[in-house]
Amino acid sequence: MNKLFIVILISVFFSCKGFKTIQQAKNNQSKEQISDTIYHFNISFISIGSGIDGKAKERFLAFVNDFQIKRNILIEMETVNWGREGEIDYCFKLTQLNSDEQAKFISDTKELLKTSKLVRYSQNIPCKNKRN
């Protein structure tokens, strides 16, 4: 009877250890997938019943274009249209820029669009309105 109890105890111990290893592998894989979907800077042009701020959007797109030309670099951005009144998100990983250039891009963008009440910013999150 004691031998049977010890065998059962040992098999339970090893099965729990194997389960823990499987869980750790799944957690590591999901962390990698999450980091692939995280964007460093997101801009949302929102609407409150009367469309987005089209002039602010035009200024922003011109700014991005000028920023790229001045630095001779292509900034990758993901564009997500999500509303019926022109709502749109621009999501940037900014991996093409060093940390100083990233900070400059973000601060200049916020300065450019600070007067618009229909623009929202977020950092280090997934592109929230992206459809998979």
* Each residue's pLDDT tens digit, 96-105: 999 999 999 9
pLDDT tens, position by position, 77-88: 999 999 899 999
pTM of the model: 0.71
The CATH number corresponding to 39-126 among 3.30.70.600, 3.50.40.10, 1.10.357.10, 3.90.470.10 equals 3.30.70.600
pLDDT tens, position by position, 35-54: 568 999 999 999 998 999 99
Residue 35 confidence (pLDDT) = 57
What is the SS3 string spanning the chain? CHHHHHHHHHHHHHHHHHHHHHHHHHHHHHHHHHHHHEEEEEEEECCCCCCCCHHHHHHHHHHHHHHHHHHCCCCCEEEEECCCCCCEEEEECCCCCCHHHHHHHHHHHHHHCCCCCCEEEEEEEECCCCCC
